[in-house]
Amino acid sequence: MRFRYNVIMLLSATFFFAACKKETKVPAYNEEPVISAYLFAGNCVSIKITAQIAVSTETSSTGEGIDTLHVYVDDDSGSHLLMNMGDGVYADTTLMIGEGKQYSLHFVYKEKVISGTTLVPSAPQNFTQSVGELSVSKIEEGTMPTPGSFQMNDPISLNWSNDDQSYYMIIVENMESSPELIRDTTSTRFRITSFRNEPAVTNQYQLRDQQFQYFGTHRLVLYHLNPDYAALYSGNSNSSQSLSNPTTNITNGVGIFTGISTDTLFLKVNKQQ
Amino acid sequence: MFHSIPMRKYLVIVTLFLANPCHGQLIKKKAAMPPSPLDKIVVNDQFASATLHEVYQTLMTNYKVNIIYDSNYCKKRYFSYWFSKTPFTRAIEITTRDPGVSIKPLDKMTYYIDSALNITIKYDRTSTIYTEDGKLAEVMPVQKKFEGPAEKKNFNISGKVVDVASGEPLPFVTVTVSGTGIGTVSNADGLFSLLNVPSDTATISASYLGYLTRTIYLNPQMQTGNFIIELFPGGAVSLKDVVVTGNRNDMMKMSSGDLSMIKLSPAKLAELPNVGEKDVMRAFQLMPGVSASNESSSGLYVRGGTPDQNLVVYDGFTIYHVDHLYGFFSAFNANAVKDVQLYKGGFDSKFGGRLSSVMELTGKEGNKKNFNLGGDISLLSCNLFTEIPLTENISIMAAWRRSWKGPIYNWIFDSFNQNDNETEQQPVMTGGPGGGPSDETKTTSYFSDLNVKVTYKPTEKDNIAYSYFYSIDKLDNSTNFTAPGGFGGGNSSGFSNGTTDLTRYGNVGMSLKWSRKWADRLYGNTLVSYSNYYSERDRSNERTTTNSSTSETTTIKNGILENNDLTDLSFKSDYEWNLFKWSDLGFGIFGTDYDINYNYSQDDTSEVLARSGHGILTGGYIQDKMTFFKKRLEIKPGIRLSYFDITGKLYQEPRLATGLNITDRLSLKGSYGQFYQFANRITREDILSGSRDFWILSDETKVPVSKSTHYIAGVSYETNNYLFSVEAYKKDLENISEYSMRFSTTRFSTTVNESFYTGYGFAKGIELLVQKKARKFTGWVSYSLGQARNHFDVYGEGYFAANQDVTHEFKAVSVYKYKRWDFSATLVYATGRPYTAPAGSYSITLLDGTSEDYFTVTTKNSLRLPDYHRLDLSASYHIFNSNKKDIGYMSLSLFNAYNQTNVWYKQYYISEGSVIESNVNYLGITPNLTLSLKIR
């Protein structure tokens, strides 16, 4: 009886405490605008500016573009007012990005000056590939390769100069309009026409047969990057244990404003007869 | 009967032995060191169903020794035994233990050896005690008070308190002279000195957590040096109805001497529910003032402090990391721990280097009398221990534990890694599932630990102990993709691509301690220790390719490598000097050499962060415990001085504790103290997997030496069956640090911006405790009201709730004993912890067309998780051997019995222009089965 009495006491105490009211505050909506701008050497300036998506239920922002701004990009030739193209995109089709040049962005939003600066990296130097073509066996549905028949090519070495220890990234894209699968057994989630490596301080990358899912011509794009861009890959957390504002190079705003240079090679993946 | 019959200088020990299977009991007395002259006689006789009368007659005839016994009684008792080179006193001892076949049960038998070496054997039929269920009770000797004139007055007694069965010294036993204010506490080696005992017919009482309180009536024949007090464990079922007044065997005890100090009996932990292991740290989390709602940390959050502000000392060396398996279990094997106590604040000058609290663990020395072997097996792990009395002076204890990939381990591991996978997903394709290549996940995760302690007692006054502790956690969530080279010849080559996600961390610690009783009133121990904490994290992607034409192998590693290594080399020399009856002086010196390194590198080529700190902390302390008015008033002033070579400053930590016993039951206590901390654990926001901790050393600039000031007051009222206690505390914190790591945006370099924020804060609260200490139903109910606030300029004006802030916390622990069963229930309710919620979010489209989600925050810790509550249940059944000795238990435990969904943290995703919030929860209902057995 005594035991039962004690248990009842404990449980009632729990409910007593559980009934306590708690304060429920909701954090204010973050009004800083989001800038997304990759300044590719040789291309014209194009910048996307959006609002943040609201977490609070008090604001209903879904991250739509902000189209009412006066956005300027400065270079060594002066200040250029960009034209709004709708959906938060601002561009100047006459302002071509030059490698090695510095660009600054600034505009006023909610009475604050939002700004950012970047330097466009130099074009990649001495980008080479060990082979230009590759032959891979077609694997039909329902067939399994036997060890004796399974052959792999040597890796394709991609090399470039990286004397100043900067970040590079490779993106491989299939250029065919309706490419043919190398392995019909490949599950749907792996049927991708492009893949990349992580931005890294390196001067080479090795491509293997297994990375290609489709036959045809592939574009190998080497990106010369600023560390700002590399930080995008390791600057986010989605856990309430470790939420903090992500790394950004924008003052009074979030996102990225960074210069990029590229070089491109092509590789053909042929069907082995 | 407890009679101490002096044999010249011989030490006489009173010992209890196991009873025979029949209903009866035995109490005997044995001569210990040095050996009796009778032991020079060896007995070589065989008895088969002989009466004891025949046995004694034979022994007297063969060995010319006089044995006095009751022949009528002994003619009715039968005995079988084969003595082979058995020392004579041992043979006599065996006859009183009835190892053979007795038709009728033996009654209580004792033997005395007088100065003329006559052996007297007595029996007492009147005091047989049975338990409620008809089993023989294992009881302490019932001793009569000496009736006669005292011979000595105001003398000192010094000796040792040991466990009756194993001979293991018992630390921190309270030894008092009844009816006087005279008392003391045994030190870490079980040694004690009682000063100014009023007469040699006084009554002494010894009490210790988990053991029955022992009452000893002095008589003029007893020796006063090497006075051995043997205590009887209070865990066995057979004890429960023994009529010994005032004895208790509590699991938890609030210290009557020190404010804010709690002791726990590791031997009693098995009575509590558990997830997979009986756990010292988890048990402390059920105490008032220690947070219980953080399932993913074994470290203690004491009174609004963080686990790194709690000093954990194991056999004299500091342990820097106490977590196994993401913190769900602690690194301490309960089978290896003899004693553990927690100072929640205002701790003694002997301890320092931490802002909040101290947890002191003493490892078992091992059975000094008999070999022992035992182990536990549960759904989580396997646990083995052995105790080896190597020689008379050397004992060894070793305990080893290893998890196995059972259901509980997998459950916890998978729930963590499920989360990891979600956050780490990268749209990186480095290989595809072709025909032939294999994609496998390694399953090599485990935790393990080892405790070894070797104790050597070269003389009565010296004790040398070597203690070793090793723990490791390997958490491996790597996958490996291998494509073999073709066998068809031609242009083919091998290729492998592994995604590594490996975390390895652990401790290696050891200490060598020399304790010496320099004089009856002066005791000292000197210790050298080494402690290393290491943590390695490798989250990378490794590609190894072998070119068939050139046979060239290329390995490229991309990802994050993190390494923290802390080494602590320490020297300590501590002394206790009972200078006067009213003064207990403690003083000592210490020195620690810290070497702490932290490296963070990305892609095996670039080291983004490398910190290394080397510093030496030296100092000394002095403290005096003074008692006045028959111990009614206690004042304990102390000061600790530390010199830290990195800052080149001398740090003074004055401390003061006072206690006033208004009546025997009601006491008031208060304490004040200043504390500094030189090595800090920094919580880094790990982008990929939640927070990660690493230790760094304070320096003059970025990470200042942190400081806290404690103010504590308490009142307690204690009766035989209940304890009521209220304590209030306030803790001011200065120079606390927070850390943030940001990638720099400098043009062509891979540097990282470290930001150290320095702030201040406070923690305050009230703790209420009601403990019921009656026999069948024991337990406690506690409530804490607390507030922990910090301020860092970077987070704006004013204070914000610290991560560990819990406003209300209610805990109830109850244990009910019924025959061989122990039933227990623990209930925890706690206010939800604060968390930081995103204020906004956005996605950035990356160059390859995929997009990443980002979250921005405005106010820190402005929201609270839902309240935490949980009920755990367990039932244990004690297993007895044929001699009715408790040799283990079988236990069924139910963690989170009503399957409450407690939120651990929240995760956020962006989906179609809105933010989706999801909860990551703590463990649901988790059953566990444990079987624990030992030889003795």
A83 or B936, which is more confident: A83
Chosen from A6, A50, A55, A236 to mutate, greatest number of chain B CBs within 10 A: A55
pLDDT at B441: 44
pLDDT at B692: 64
Neighbours of B756 (CB within 10 A): 16
CB B856 within 8 A of CB A245: yes
pLDDT at B30: 39
pLDDT at B883: 74
Using an 8 Å CB-CB cutoff, list chain B residues near A14. 810, 827, 829, 869
Q: How far is CA B856 from CA A51, B680, B852, B908, in A?
A: 12, 28, 13, 11
Q: Which of A31, A36, A67 is nearest to A52 (CA)?
A: A31
Q: B751: pLDDT confidence band, cut at 50, 70 and 90? A: low
- A210, B434: Cβ pair inside 8 Å? yes
Same domain, A53 and A161: no
Q: B438: pLDDT confidence band, cut at 50, 70 and 90? A: very low
Report DSSP letters for B543-608, one per residue: EEEE-TTT--EEEEEEEEEEEEEEEEEEEEEEEEEEEETTEEEEEEEEEEEEEEEEEEEETTTEEE
d(CA B34, CA B873): 50
Q: How far is CA B735 from CA A210, B705, B728, in A?
A: 55, 7, 24
Going by C-beta distance under 8 Å and a sequence separation of 6 or more, which residues neighbour residue A111? none
Same domain, A180 and A54: no
pLDDT at B547: 59
pLDDT at B115: 65
Assess B906–A contact: CB distance below 8 Å, yes or no.
Answer: yes
pLDDT at B493: 46
Predicted interface score ipTM higher than 0.90: no
Q: Which CATH class is domain B149-249?
A: mainly beta
Using an 8 Å CB-CB cutoff, list chain A residues near B825. 7, 10
CATH architecture designation of domain B252-366: Beta Complex (2.170)
Same domain, A115 and A147: no
Q: B586: pLDDT confidence band, cut at 50, 70 and 90? A: very high
Give how far A195 is from chain B: nearest CA, Å.
5
Using an 8 Å CB-CB cutoff, list chain A residues near B541. 198
> Span B728-736, mean pLDDT?
94
Is position A232 within any domain?
no
pLDDT at B672 over 90: yes
- B810, A208: Cβ pair inside 8 Å? no
Same domain, A113 and A164: no
d(CA B792, CA B814): 42
- B839, A28: Cβ pair inside 8 Å? yes
Tell which phi-psi region holds residue B487, choosing left (phi > 0), alpha (psi between -120 and 50) or beta.
alpha
Chosen from B286, B420, B482, B495 to mutate, greatest number of chain A CBs within 10 A: B495
CA nearest to A171 within chain B: B848
Chosen from A139, A152, A223 to mutate, greatest number of chain B CBs within 10 A: A152
Q: A248: pLDDT confidence band, cut at 50, 70 and 90? A: confident
Using an 8 Å CB-CB cutoff, list chain A residues near B431. 208, 210-211
- A6, B433: Cβ pair inside 8 Å? no
d(CA B924, CA B918): 17
Using an 8 Å CB-CB cutoff, list chain A residues near B744. 227
Q: Cα torsion for A10, A14, A17, A19, to the nearest 10°?
A: -130
- A3, B541: Cβ pair inside 8 Å? no
Is position A178 within any domain?
yes
Using an 8 Å CB-CB cutoff, list chain B residues near A260. 847
- B491, A153: Cβ pair inside 8 Å? yes
Q: What residues make up the domain containing A144?
A: 128-226+262-271
Is position A202 within any domain?
yes
- B748, A198: Cβ pair inside 8 Å? no
- B839, A243: Cβ pair inside 8 Å? no
- A245, B846: Cβ pair inside 8 Å? no
Chosen from A53, A182, A211 to mutate, greatest number of chain B CBs within 10 A: A53
Going by C-beta distance under 8 Å and a sequence separation of 6 or more, which residues neighbour residue B705? B644, B647, B649, B651, B676, B677, B678, B698, B735
Same domain, A202 and A157: yes
- A55, B908: Cβ pair inside 8 Å? yes
Using an 8 Å CB-CB cutoff, list chain B residues near A17. 808, 810, 829, 867
d(CA B876, CA B888): 10
Tally the domains of chain A: 2
Q: How far is CA B438 from CA A186, B19, B476, B482, B491, in A?
A: 14, 63, 18, 6, 21
> Span A212-233, mean pLDDT?
89
> Span B190-197, mean pLDDT?
83
Same domain, A267 and A148: yes
Same domain, A158 and A266: yes
Q: B826: pLDDT confidence band, cut at 50, 70 and 90? A: very high
- B426, A233: Cβ pair inside 8 Å? yes
**pLDDT tens column, B211-239:** 777 778 887 777 777 788 888 776 432 22
Q: Chain B 339-398, CB below 8 Å of chain A: which residues?
A: none
d(CA B241, CA B775): 8
d(CA B47, CA B95): 11
d(CA B835, CA B544): 42
- B743, A230: Cβ pair inside 8 Å? yes
CB B380 within 8 A of CB B332: no
Q: Chain B 733-762, CB below 8 Å of chain A: which residues?
A: 740, 742-750
CB hemisphere CA count around B21 (13 angstroms)? 9
Q: Could you confirm whether domain B384-430+442-495+522-934 is CATH 2.40.160.40?
A: no
Q: Which of B12, B13, B64 is nearest to B38 (CA)?
A: B64
Using an 8 Å CB-CB cutoff, list chain A residues near B779. 6
Neighbours of B165 (CB within 10 A): 21
Is position A142 within any domain?
yes
- A243, B837: Cβ pair inside 8 Å? yes
**pLDDT tens column, B507-553:** 999 999 999 988 878 889 999 999 999 988 887 776 665 655 566 66
Is position A192 within any domain?
yes
Give how far A20 is from chain B: nearest CA, Å.
9
Same domain, A85 and A177: no
Is position A23 within any domain?
no
- A242, B812: Cβ pair inside 8 Å? no
Is position A78 within any domain?
yes
Q: Which of B804, B780, B575, B675 is nearest to B353 (CA)?
A: B675
By Cβ distance, the residue of A17, A36, A227 closest to B845 is A36
- B835, A10: Cβ pair inside 8 Å? no
Same domain, A45 and A108: yes
Q: What is the CA radius of gyration of chain B?
A: 31
By Cβ distance, the residue of B494, B848, B856 closest to A245 is B856
Using an 8 Å CB-CB cutoff, list chain A residues near B915. 53-55
**pLDDT tens column, A26-82:** 556 778 899 999 999 999 999 999 999 887 666 677 788 999 999 999 999 999 999
Instruction: Report residue B446 as tokens.
Output: 């485990």
Least confident of B73-77, B314-318, B555-559, B634-638: B555-559
Report DSSP letters for A52-99, one per residue: PEE-STT---B--B--S---EEEETTEEEEPEEEETTEEEEEEEE--T
Mean pLDDT, all residues of chain B? 78
CA nearest to A197 within chain B: B428
**Domain ranges, ordered by start, for chain B:** 1-128, 149-249, 252-366, 384-430+442-495+522-934
Is position A10 within any domain?
no
By Cβ distance, the residue of B427, B492, B841 closest to A52 is B841
CA nearest to B918 within chain A: A239
CA nearest to A224 within chain B: B748
Q: Chain B 226-285, CB below 8 Å of chain A: which residues?
A: none
CA nearest to B825 within chain A: A7
By Cβ distance, the residue of A13, A154, A165 closest to B547 is A154
Instruction: Report residue B556 as tokens.
Output: 């490229």
Assess B41–A contact: CB distance below 8 Å, yes or no.
Answer: no
pLDDT at B52: 82
Q: Which of B261, B359, B248 is nearest to B309 (CA)?
A: B359
pLDDT at B121 over 50: yes
How large is the angle between the packed helices B88-97 and B52-63, nearest 10 degrees?
180
B702 or B165, which is more confident: B702
Same domain, A174 and A209: yes
**pLDDT tens column, B134-145:** 333 344 454 556
pLDDT at B496 over 60: no
Q: How far is CA B689 from CA A238, B539, B785, in A?
A: 9, 10, 32
pLDDT at B560 over 70: yes
Give the number of beta-carbon pairs within 8 Å between A and B: 328
Among residues A53, A85, A120, which one ends one of the domains?
A120
Same domain, A85 and A183: no
Question: What percent of chain B clears pLDDT 90, i.e. is strictly above it?
Answer: 29
d(CA B626, CA B328): 42
pLDDT at B269 over 50: yes
CB B530 within 8 A of CB B315: no
CB B869 within 8 A of CB B811: no
Using an 8 Å CB-CB cutoff, list chain A residues near B750. 165, 167, 201, 227, 230
Assess B440–A contact: CB distance below 8 Å, yes or no.
Answer: no
Same domain, A135 and A197: yes
Instruction: Report residue A179 as tokens.
Output: 């490419």
**pLDDT tens column, B381-422:** 899 999 999 988 899 999 999 988 777 777 777 766 654 433
Using an 8 Å CB-CB cutoff, list chain B residues near A192. 429
**pLDDT tens column, B752-773:** 556 778 899 999 999 999 988 7
Least confident of A13-27, B331-345, B714-728: A13-27
Q: Is the dihedral of CA A251, A252, A256, A259 positive or negative?
A: negative
pLDDT at A216 over 50: yes
Give how far A94 is from chain B: nearest CA, Å.
23
CATH number of the domain within which A73 lies: 2.60.40
pLDDT at B531: 96
- A18, B869: Cβ pair inside 8 Å? yes
